[in-house]
Amino acid sequence: MRRRLFMQRLFRVGYLVWSIVPCALGAAALWHPESLFSLFSLGVISFALAWCGAGLGLLRERRWAGSVAVVLVVVPWIPAALQTFRRVVRVSTGTMEGPDGHGSPLAFMLGFVVEQLVFFVPLTFLLVCALFGRIQKRPPMSS
């Protein structure tokens, strides 16, 4: 029970710390008024608002907030996982350049490291905390 409570608190703290990323992306979308007419910018802004709403729910310990927060963590984790897979496959084939042969291996590796440190590793950590925070030890069934 103590481990479960610890993981739930760790998820809550990690969720609130990583809130900087969607809020910064939403602010960047608002900073350029001409981009407000694009669907992607509207999606980023609404995602940031939903993320902040779930964060407020987590702070106030609402029952629905944990489930909504996990769903909101999965949304950016899926593209980050797919991008990681694509980059690993590209490296395993022996090239770090694009299909046209143009590109810099240094830029490839720098982009890969930034994606891992900003998106994939923190979101995977949040998912693991959420998973272990949800798992309850059940007493063994007696026969």
Supply the pTM of this predicted model. 0.79
Tens digit of each residue's pLDDT (9 = 90 or more) over 30-89: 887 776 678 888 888 899 999 999 999 988 988 888 889 999 999 999 999 999 998 888
CA atoms within 13 A on the CB side of 126: 25
**Nearby residues of 14 by Cβ (< 8 Å), 6 or more positions away:** 122, 125, 126, 129
What kind and span of H or E run contains 94? none
Q: What residues does each domain of the chain span?
A: 2-134
Q: Residues 67, 42: contact at Cβ < 8 Å? A: no
Indicate the SS3 state at residue 60: coil
pLDDT of residue 120: 92
The structure tokens listed for 71 are 């769903």
User: pLDDT digits over 82-126, tens only?
Assistant: 999 988 888 887 776 666 767 777 888 888 899 999 999 999 999
- 126 contacts: CB under 8 Å, gap ≥ 6: 11, 14, 15, 18, 73
